[in-house]
Amino acid sequence: MQTHASLIAGPGDALVLVDVQNDFLPGGALAVAEGNRVVPPLNRCIALFTGRGLPVYATRDWHPPDHCSFAPQGGPWPPHCVAGSPGADFAPALRLPPGLPIALIGKGHDPAKDSYSGFEGTDLDRLMRAEGVERLFVGGLATDYCVLNTVLDGLRLGYRVVVLTDAIRAVDVHPGDGERAVAKMAAHGAALATTAELS
């Protein structure tokens, strides 16, 4: 764990919200258990970062109807987050105020290629470099897939990364996948912290 002082968000920091979309919430097409519980801590972070004039980025799955990851095409997942569908919308309780200077990062457009990372096939890295971002605070869904891959890519690209452990939840296709994902992120250099440590 980092010290409290080192977790104070300031210049060079950015908040990354990973795939907080309806289809990943309870009742959604690819529901993550307790996925809705990431929303309150992320809302506190949104308020904190926007209040300090710091950038916020939100990734989202934005799939074509025939995406390769869908079971009808031989993939592992039920159809989810189809572009323009209600399931692809951000969670209604997620407080993204109108006019918020937030970068929406769509991923998974290519029907023939799956993309778990918010950096893969997107402008996220370019946008962050333009903003002078050096450290990422990451939360969202799901720990063992899109959060994991976004964090690992962020580290590979040279960013420092803090994983917000109370603002992530796992699919856990295999029991313990979420815990193993957190351990892997830490082993690759990510810091672990709760959102309460940021305030």
Residue 22 maps to a domain: yes
Does residue 114 sit within a domain? yes
Q: Which residues contact 156 (CB under 8 A, 6 or more apart)?
A: none
pLDDT by residue (tens digit) across 149-184? 999 999 999 999 999 999 999 999 999 999 999 999
- Structural domain contains residue 151: yes
Supply the mean pLDDT for the chain: 91
Point out the catalytic residue in the list 45, 107, 144, 153: 107
Which residue has better confidence, 53 or 106?
Answer: 53
Instruction: Tell whether 7 is covered by a domain.
Output: no
Is the Cβ–Cβ distance between 121 and 115 less than 8 Å? yes
Instruction: Say if 137 falls within a structural domain.
Output: yes
Whole-angstrom Cα Rg for the chain: 16
Question: Inter-axis angle of helices 148-156 and 177-187, to 10 degrees?
Answer: 10
* Adjacent-strand bridge partners of 136: 14, 161
Q: What is the CATH number of the domain that holds 82?
A: 3.40.50.850
Would residue 140 count as lying in a domain?
Answer: yes
Nearest to 76 by CA among 156, 144, 158: 144
Q: Say which of 13, 19, 23, 61 is annotated catalytic.
A: 19
| pTM confidence score | 0.94
Residue 113 is a catalytic residue: no
> What is the reported pLDDT for 101?
47
User: Per the domain annotation, does 2 fall within a domain?
Assistant: no
**Residue 166 bears catalytic tag:** no
Res. 4: pLDDT tops 60: no
pLDDT over threshold 90, residue 106? no
Residue 134 has pLDDT above 80, yes or no: yes
| Sheet order of strands, 13-18 included | 102-107, 56-61, 13-18, 135-141, 160-169, 191-193
Is 81 part of the annotated catalytic residue set? Answer: no
Tens of pLDDT, residues 9-50? 999 999 999 999 999 999 999 999 999 999 999 999 999 999
Predicted local distance difference test score (pLDDT) of residue 99: 58
Please pick, among 61, 114, 144, 146, the residue that the annotation labels catalytic.
146
Residue 8 maps to a domain: no
DSSP helix/strand/coil, 108: coil
Quote the domain boundaries for residue 34.
13-198
Domains identified in the chain, total number: 1
Query: Which residues, at least 6 apart from 146, have a Cβ–Cβ distance to it below 8 Å?
Result: 18, 19, 59, 61, 116, 117, 118, 140
